[in-house]
Each structure stands twice: as C-alpha cells, then as structure tokens.
C-alpha cells in the first residue's frame, strides 16, 4: 500500500526566507503531484513530475523528484505572504490504479 | 479557463437518507474521480471512472456508494444511506489523459449529516 509522508506538517516563516517541504513515499511511483489549497477552497494543481530528476519551477516555487530516494521537494524562494496556504503532495501508485494518494499536507504561514 | 463544477456547494441531510452529489467535468476530459476530505484531514481517493465504468475504487467506496455518468456531461456520486461519518467535503476531479496530466478539482460539496 502506497503511503505518502510530508514534513513539516506546519511551517511558519517570515517573508523573504527560503524553505523546503519534503514529501516521501513508500513504494515505487514515477509520478508525483503538488497541489495548493487555500482555506475552504479547492485544490489547485501546481506541478506534475513525471520522471526521475524532473524539476519544475513556477515563480517562487520549485519542485523536484528523486524516484530512487522516493522523495520530492517543494522549495520556496524569498517567500511572500500570498504563498500562505496548505500544500499537498500526492503520488500515483501505478499498476492500472489511477487514484492519487495524498500526504497530510503542509500548512504554511508566511508572516510579514 | 474550463473548470470542474460541482453542485450543490453545501448539502445537509439526515442520517440514513440518500444523497446525490453532482459534477460537470471539463468537457474534453476522459477520466473522472471522486475524493473526500474530512475537515482538517488529508484528501482521500474514493473512485475513478473511465470509459463509462469504474476503473478503481478505494476501501472507503463500499456498497453504499455508487457513481454514474447519466449523460454526456454529468458525473454523479450517490450515497445510499448516509452515516454521520460521511460528513466531509467531496471533491470531483477530471483529467484529459489520466495520470500524465494533473487532475483538475472542483470547488467541492460540503456534506453535513445530522
């Protein structure tokens, strides 16, 4: 059974700082997704990582995937208040099963 | 930009009653999904649907749940006899090409069972 672990689960940081959210998964998966969720809102797709070594960047966010280590990271550069949200990673277990397994989410607060 | 739309946004139902949650996926998408999120917890997969049949379901999706695509645009989730623990936010999602593209989520239906 695929398990997805995120850490930290809660992160409070100051504007302008850099930080990384980690996502580990328990079994082989070559597809990893990052989503953002604002309070009371839906999930917004940020990145889809489809292969080992994949790196994607959008603005101040950069995501990477290391399938050998079963690890994905979401790096935040020079954080701004608007990035405050909950960030979920999700993995696809493969083998014809197409439901995503989500981590518990990282609740990120960025303070001025 | 095309969106997944869900109705209603909030549904309040007595325990034991049947409820139908409705979704209109993005029009050129072929893969449809239901997930749920209990308040403050992670998102959990319920079921996926492709080519007019269920392609995968989780342990949560037991006999009281069913899905249907009654016409070319709607995708519904029925809970036959609701329980208190069914209270959650239910999200519909769709994707064009399965898992190589992101799943696009609707705004959700908040289901409250009394």
**B11 touches A: beta carbon within 8 Å:** no
User: What are the tokens at A112?
Assistant: 């001025």
| CB-CB neighbours of B28 under 10 Å | 8
**Per-residue pLDDT reduced to its tens digit, A6-45:** 999 999 999 999 999 999 999 877 789 999 999 888 899 9
Residues B114 and B109: their CA atoms lie apart, in Å, by 16
The length of chain B in residues reads: 114
pLDDT, mean over chain B: 93
Highest mean pLDDT among A23-27, A52-56, B78-82: B78-82
What pLDDT is attached to residue A92?
84
Which chain B residues are within 8 Å of A99, Cβ to Cβ?
Answer: 33, 35, 45-48, 56, 58
Is the pLDDT confidence value at B1 over 80?
no
Strands A10-14 and A106-111: parallel
Which chain A residues are within 8 Å of B106, Cβ to Cβ?
Answer: 42
CB-based contact A43 B98, cutoff 8 Å: no
Read out DSSP for B4-15?
Answer: -EEE-SEEEE-T
Task: Please compute the mean of the pLDDT values over residues A83-106 and round it to a whole number.
Answer: 86
Contact B1, B101 (CB under 8 A): no
| CB-CB neighbours of A47 under 10 Å | 23
Query: Smallest Cα–Cα separation from B94: which of B53, B42, B34, B36?
Result: B34
What pLDDT is attached to residue A7?
96
What pLDDT is attached to residue A9?
96
CB-based contact B104 A105, cutoff 8 Å: no
Best residue in A43, A44, A45, A103 for a mutation probing chain B (most B CBs within 10 Å): A43
Radius of gyration of chain A (CA): 13
Task: Please compute the mean of the pLDDT values over residues A47-71 and round it to a whole number.
Answer: 93
Would you place residue B35 in the very low, low, confident or very high pLDDT band (cuts 50, 70, 90)? very high
Nearest to B108 among A42, A98, A102 (CB): A42
**B9 touches A: beta carbon within 8 Å:** no
Residues 6+ apart with CB under 8 A from B3: B26, B104, B106
Read out DSSP for A28-67?
Answer: --S-EEEEEE-TTS-EEEEEEE-STT-EEEETTEEEEEET
Better-scored residue on pLDDT, B13 or B39: B13
Contact B95, B102 (CB under 8 A): yes
Contact B89, B109 (CB under 8 A): yes
Nearest to B103 among A50, A100, A101 (CB): A100
Q: Which residue of B has its CA nearest to A45?
A: B102
Q: How far is B95 from chain A (nearest CA, A)?
A: 11
Which chain B residues are within 8 Å of A103, Cβ to Cβ?
Answer: 42
Residues A49 and A70: their CA atoms lie apart, in Å, by 12
């Amino acid at each position: 059974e695929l398990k997805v672990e995120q850490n930290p689960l809660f992160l409070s940081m100051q504007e302008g700082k850099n930080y990384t959210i980690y996502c580990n998964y328990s079994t082989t998966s070559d597809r990893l997704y990052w989503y953002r969720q604002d309070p009371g809102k839906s999930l917004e797709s940020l990145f889809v990582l489809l292969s080992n070594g994949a790196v994607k960047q959008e603005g101040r966010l950069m995501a990477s995937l290391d399938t050998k280590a079963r690890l994905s990271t979401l790096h935040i550069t020079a954080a701004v208040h608007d990035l405050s949200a909950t960030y979920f990673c999700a993995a696809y277990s493969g083998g014809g099963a197409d439901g995503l397994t989500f981590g518990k989410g990282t609740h990120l607060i960025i303070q001025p | 930009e095309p969106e997944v739309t869900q109705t209603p946004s909030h549904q309040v139902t007595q325990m034991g009653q049947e409820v139908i949650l409705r979704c209109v996926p993005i029009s050129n998408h072929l893969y449809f999904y239901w997930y749920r999120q209990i308040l403050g917890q992670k998102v959990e997969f319920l079921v996926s649907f492709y080519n007019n049949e269920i392609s995968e379901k989780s342990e949560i999706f037991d006999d009281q749940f069913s899905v249907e695509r009654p016409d070319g645009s709607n995708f519904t989730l029925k809970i036959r006899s609701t329980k208190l623990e069914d209270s959650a936010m239910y999200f519909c999602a769709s994707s064009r090409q399965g898992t190589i593209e992101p799943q696009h989520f609707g705004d959700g239906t908040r289901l409250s069972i009394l």
